Structure formats: C-alpha cells, structure tokens
Chain A
Amino acid sequence: MTIRHEMIAARPAPRNTVGPLAWLRANLFSGPVNSFFTLLGLYLLYLLLTPTIQWAFINADWIGTTRDDCSREGACWVFVSARFTQFIYGLYPRGELWRVDVTFLTFAALIAWLAIPRLPFKRWVALATLVVFPLFAYFMLYGGFFGLRVVETHRWGGLMLTLVLAVVGMVGALPIGILLALGRRSQMPIVKSFCVVFIEFWRGVPLITVLFMASVMLPLFMPTGVSVDRLIRAFIGITLFQSAYMAEVIRGGLQAIPRGQEEAAAALGMSYWMRMGLIVLPQALKMMIPGIVNTFISLFKDTTLVMIIGLFDLLGIVQAALSDSRWLGFSLEGYVFAAFMFWIFCFSMSRYSQYLERKLHTGHKR
C-alpha cells in the first residue's frame, strides 16, 4: 500500500474542454449536421449584413441640408436629419417645442422612478403619474392656461403624438380594464354577461374598424351641432379597444390569486371593495405587470393605425414626408428611421418586462 503525502499540483484542464476553440467545437461544430448549419448561418449572415452595412454606413451620406448633398449610392441620412424636428414634434409651433420637452422629461423621470426597484414612495409616484401628470401634460401640451399659447391638436404629430396616444390609451384603459375584469368574475349574471359581451366584442374586431367607427360614427352619436376633436375620437376608440385586452390580462392575474386570500379578507369583515382594493387587486396587478407591459407594447405599435384616419403619428409623418416632391425616392431611409425608433421603445419595454418576470417569479421557481 502506498500513501502519497504531498498534494498533486493542479494541472491545466484538458485542452479540448476549455477555451475558445473548445467552445467553438461544442456550440458550432459538434457534428456534421451542426457544422453544416453553422456554415449556412454564416452564409446567411454574410448575405444580410454586407449589403446592409455598405448601404447604411459605408456608402451613406450624413452631412448636408438638401437633396443635392445625397450623391453617393448608399443611404441618404440627410433626409432624416433635415426632417428630424418634424418627425419628433409634428407641426407643433417651433417656438413652443420646450413645452413638449418638459412634458416628456417629466414623464420619463416619473416612469424611471417607477421602474427602478430601489427608489422609495412608489405609491405616491404612481398616483402622481396616473392622476396629476395627465392634467399637467394637458396644460403643457394644449395650453390655454398660465399664459401658454393654445396649440390646436391638428398641429400635434410625430413621435410626440405616438407617445401621447399610447399613454392616454393606457391610462384610460387601465381603470376600465380593472372594472371589466372584476365584472367578468362577478356573481351578478347581468353584470357578468354585460362585461363578457363588451370584452368579446372589442377583442373580436380589428382596431382599424374601431377607429373607423370612432371617426365616422361618433359624430353621428353626438347631439346635432356638437363636434368632437379628431384626436379625442381616436382616444376613445383606442381606449375602448385596449380596455378589453387589459381586462383579460387582469382577469388572468385575478384568477392566479388563491381564493383563500379573498375568503380570509371576508372573514375579517371587509366589504367587497375593501377586499378587492386592499387584498386581491394589489397582488393581481403586481403579478400581471409583465402582461400589462406587453399590452402597452402592442398598444404602442397599434398607434400607427391612426394615420389611416388622418392623424400624423410618427409613421404617418414619415409617410407624408416621403411624398414630398423635393425628397422623392428616400422611402427606405424613412422607414428604417421610423422602424428604429419604434424598435428602441418596444425592445426596451419588452426587456424590462422580461426582467420583471424574472424578478417577480423568484417565489415559486425551483
């Protein structure tokens, strides 16, 4: 029997299991089929990326103010930079742009406060965002108070209008959605069937017909002589449509709360609204934040449809700029810019919702 008295010195790991080469072998070339797919993927990447990079960066024009500055065969970003203010603010008066900036910086600060988990006073900030901010935004954007000039809604446009539509749609849809979700789970048969019909109706029709309805039929529903602003019509259509989707998301959250929670609250003698408002809804809404963010993303993308009823959101104003006779033939640049803007917003929101999902799921994860 032999006993070794000293430790064996650590040896380097086998060369074929660590390092970039081994990683390549394990993930890209583990077999003939895998290698084939890797090569196919590389070829696809080459086919897609080379012309894109050539067009968007290498052969592109960046500096200038007019069409004549676009002399190379690549993209002409001059078109975008010349129109940038319009794409962001629409036809908002040039001297008043600071009002839009202040409004959106405030909004961004509020949202950032809500989104970062470490910051305190969440409840008050949420209340401010949902109640105080809309009023503030209305005064700032529309004006007519505190010596601010009135800016008619037909001058609103671009990214600003897209954000306004999305935020108003969301803030409007959330309370209606909560009421509909509660109604759908109610034991009162008439209330329940009313909510079911309402939800299924709005979910069953395309948003575009809802917008058509809002723009064509809403004026018919109003007393003779009363006219509704076109933007308000779009708000009403979008809010009704979105509240049905919101209701279903919240219903999912309500169903996930164990019945015992509500029974325990009832045992303490709480009334229906106390049970819902203090016990069930806070838990359901917290659980459903990712779902709500997803609804918001789809609402954000859906706001583009308002251009069909004649409002100039970001896509609408890009589309309008493309038909300008001084700038014909730059549709690709316009669409790439608009797509990039939408993509940034939607992608960061979806990443945030995935982060929340991971964060909120720790409780029942193995």
Chain B
Amino acid sequence: MSVRPKAHSLGPKPPFWRDRAKRALAFQLLLVAAVVVFLLYIIGNTQANLAARGITTGFGFLTNTAGFGIVQSLIDYSSQSTYGRTFVVGLLNTLVVSALGILAATIIGFIVGIARLSPNWLIARLASGYIEIFRNIPLLLQIFFWYFAVLRAMPSPRDSLTFGEVAFLNVRGLFLPEPLFESGFGLIPLAFGVAIVASIALMIWNKRRHEATGKRLPAGWISLGLIVGLPLLVLLVTGVPVTWDVPELRGFNFRGGFTVIPEFLALWLALSIYTASFIAEIVRSGIQAIPHGQTEAAQALSLPQNLVLRLVVVPQALRVIIPPLTSQYLNLIKNSSLATAIGYPDLVSVFAGTTLNQTGQAIEVIAMTMAVYLTISLLVSMFMNWFNARVALVER
C-alpha cells in the first residue's frame, strides 16, 4: 500500500533562493529599489544644477509674455501673447500638418499599393520604383529637398507660377483664393449636420428592416445623395452666399486670398510622399494576404466583381492592413516634429525650441512636449484598436 504524498510535502522546504515565488518577489523589490535610487539620484542632481543656474521650477512661465512672432497660427497670436498660447499654437499647427499628411499619404499610398499589383507591367514597375526610392531616403533629407531645393528656388512673386490666374506659387508660398462667407451661410453646415443625422437613422432603419424582412434599400447611395445634395440645395436656395477673395500682386507681394507658407508645403509634401511609400507596401501585402480561393468562391456564387471586392476581399484585407497602418499614422504624427529643421512652427519648433531657449525651463517644456505626443499616440491607437476590433475576425 502506498500513500500518495501531497505535492508540497515532497521533501524539506526548499531554501528561499530556490522558491520561485519568493525569488520573484525579491527580484522585483530589487528592481523597484534600483529605479527609486536612480530617480532620487537624478532628481537630487537636477535640483542642485537648477539651483546653481538660478532656474526656478514650475509651470508659472506659461503665463509670461512670449515676445516672439509665429508665421502661421490658427488662433489669434501676437508677440504679446503668453507662452501658454505659444504652446496651443504649436500644438494646433502639428495637428493640422499631421491630419492633412495622413489624408494625403493614405490616398497616395492606396493608389501606389494597388498600382504595384496592377497586371500592367509598366505601372507595377513605376509603383515599385516610387516605393524603393522614397522609402530608402531619410525623411529629413526629403524635407530639405522640398524646402531648400524646390520651394526656396521658386521665382519671386513678380514671376510667380500661376494656375489659371487664381492660384500662384512663388518663393513666398502658395497663394490660393479664399472663400468669404456672407450672412446666411450658417444654414449650409446646419443642412450638412441634418443630412448626416438622417443618413445614420436611415442606415439603422435599413439594417433592422433588412434583418426583419430581407428587403434592403441602397442606403449607401441615398446617404451620399443626402449628404451632398442637401447642403447643395440649401446653397442654391440661399443664392450662393460665398464670394472668392482672389490673391492679387500688389507691390512686392500678393495681397488677399489664402497663403500656404512654403515651410508647411515642404513638410506636408515630404511627410505624405515618404509615409505613402510605406502605406503602399502595407496595402499590397494586405491584398496579397487574401487567398485567391476567396475571390474564386465569391465568383462561384456569381457575385458581381464590385461586390466581390466590397464584401469579400476588402473587408478581409482591412484586417491585415489596419494594425500596421496605425503605426504609420503614428509615425507620421511623430515625424511632423522634423518641422523644426525648416522652421515650420509646430509644437517642437516653437515650444521645445524657441520657448525652451528663452525660458530655460528644460524639464517642464520637454515634459509637456513629450506628454502631448504620448497622448496623441495613445488616442490614435485607442481609436484604431477600436476600429480594428470592429473589423477583426471573430474566432471561436
């Protein structure tokens, strides 16, 4: 007869350095202690250094007058404004160039990625040439190229390149006509909002009806019609309350209209073209990841070609595409910080650059800048993860 021993009574208790749980605990305590000691050392040194240089810590400097101008700001800003306002101006400029960059990079990237898979040999080669060239050259070099070699080499305002006498490109930037809204224009965004709400309601109703009765309306087309048509209708009914302010050459520069500064153009071009080469590869691999049998099976069900793409290939390709696409968007946002090299007034340029130099508040300024990028990164990845979870394959 044998007595089955209990697991823990196999032998004498092991010494504590062989006990896994205790060892783990000790190791972690050691790590925490090391980190704490390291931080205390750094903080102590920093305090001593700051005291020696006569720098006071704290965020009080944000309410001081900045005293420098910024060439592009979305909100009112003058050299009398505070450093706090400088921060906001820089942040908004970063967001603008990132958003427009993401938009352009996505469009170019999808076109090039699909072109690389084209059955046309020449088009496929051109697309892969685009990818290989722009992917393998540092972004900063591309920004310099667009800024110093292209846009700074543009003619003077007198000899501007014109596009139909309404838009002008010269060394001072791109001059576009600006819409001026008259009274009554407020109705158009209102109509737009109403159309969007109505479309969402229609989509929900259509889905319920489809599930209940099997009948469905072409809700996508109706929504598109509503969203485009309703504001257009209002625009016509109110008598087009928009006039265009076309830029004109007066003296040495253009007056009126809407000016896009060359720093913005260079940064935006370089960011879009560079990131698009990565997005193109992501799109290609996403489409290639779909087994050909899926397309064949859909065709065997006699689905028309556009439905094969819309219902079978694209939804599956998106699953493969979205996670790496998210990283590219994040990279683009972070890379917009290279603006500082050509003087586009983004967050890093006006805040971590000029403000830091003027105030000497290195710790606060760098911490705020990093916090902004961390927050943007977290928000974008949260949104993209949510979107990804919606389209992801549900596995049992």
Contact = CB atoms under 8 A, between A and B. Distances in A.
Interface of A: 27-28, 30, 34, 37-38, 41-42, 44-45, 187-191, 194, 201, 203-209, 212-213, 216-217, 219-224, 297, 301-302, 304-305, 307-308, 315, 319, 322, 331-332, 335, 338-339, 342-343, 346-347, 350
A223 B45 contact: yes
A201 B32 CA distance: 18
Chain B interface residue bracket vs A: 35 or more
A342 B274 CA distance: 14
Given A190-B31, A331-B148, A220 B45 contact: yes
Nearest to B35: A194
Given A331-B149, A343-B133, A30 B119 contact: yes
Contacts of B377: 203-205
B141 A338 contact: yes
Contact of A220 (B136, B341, B363, B370): B363
Contact of A339 (B27, B42, B135, B141): B141
B366 A212 contact: yes
Interface stretch (B154-162, B212-220, B224-232, B332-340): B332-340
Interface string B120-136: 11110010000011011
Given A205-B334, A217-B363, A304-B141, A346 B136 contact: yes
Given A308-B340, A343-B136, A205 B374 contact: yes
Interface of B: 24, 27-28, 31-32, 35, 42, 45-46, 48-50, 52, 118-123, 126, 132-133, 135-141, 144-145, 148-149, 152-153, 334-335, 337-338, 340-341, 348, 352, 356, 362-363, 366, 369-370, 373-374, 377-378
Contact of B144 (A188, A213, A219, A335): A335
B122 A216 contact: no
Contacts of A191: 27-28, 31
A194 B31 contact: yes
Provide the main secondary structure of the chain B interface.
helix
Contact of B122 (A41, A220, A302, A346): A41
A319 B27 contact: no
8 contacts: A27-B122, A28-B120, A206-B373, A207-B334, A305-B140, A305-B338, A342-B137, A346-B137
Given A208-B340, A209-B352, A209-B370, A342 B46 contact: no
Nearest to B336: A206
A167 B136 CA distance: 18
The list of the 3 closest CB pairs from A to B, nearest first, reads A346-B136, A27-B121, A206-B334
A207 B50 CA distance: 25
B362 A220 contact: yes
A188 B24 contact: yes
A34 B119 contact: yes
A41 B123 CA distance: 6
B282 to A, nearest CB: 13
Given A206-B334, A206-B337, 14 more contacts: A42-B122, A204-B373, A205-B334, A209-B348, A212-B366, A213-B366, A216-B362, A220-B46, A304-B141, A307-B341, A322-B148, A335-B145, A335-B149, A339-B145
B138 A302 contact: yes
B118 to A, nearest CB: 7
Given A41-B120, A190-B28, A204-B378, A222 B45 contact: yes
Interface centre among B136, B152, B341, B378 (most CB of A within 10 A): B136
A209 B138 contact: no
Contacts of B370: 205, 209, 213
Contacts of A208: 337-338, 340, 348
A228 B82 CA distance: 34
Contact of A304 (B121, B138, B340, B356): B138
Contacts of A219: 49
A343 B142 CA distance: 12
Contacts of B126: 41, 44-45
A182 to B, nearest CB: 13
A338 B139 CA distance: 12
A342 B144 CA distance: 14
Contacts of A206: 334-335, 337, 348, 373
Nearest to A330: B149
A203 B369 CA distance: 14
Contacts of B338: 208, 305
Given A209-B337, A343-B136, A28 B122 contact: yes
A135 B310 CA distance: 58
A224 B48 contact: yes
B138 A301 contact: yes
Contacts of B140: 304-305, 307, 315
Given A216-B366, A308-B340, A335-B144, A28 B121 contact: yes
B136 A37 contact: no
B45 A201 contact: no
A315 B28 contact: no
A37 B137 contact: no
B120 A347 contact: no
A347 B136 CA distance: 6
A216 B52 contact: no
B374 A201 contact: yes
A315 B142 CA distance: 11
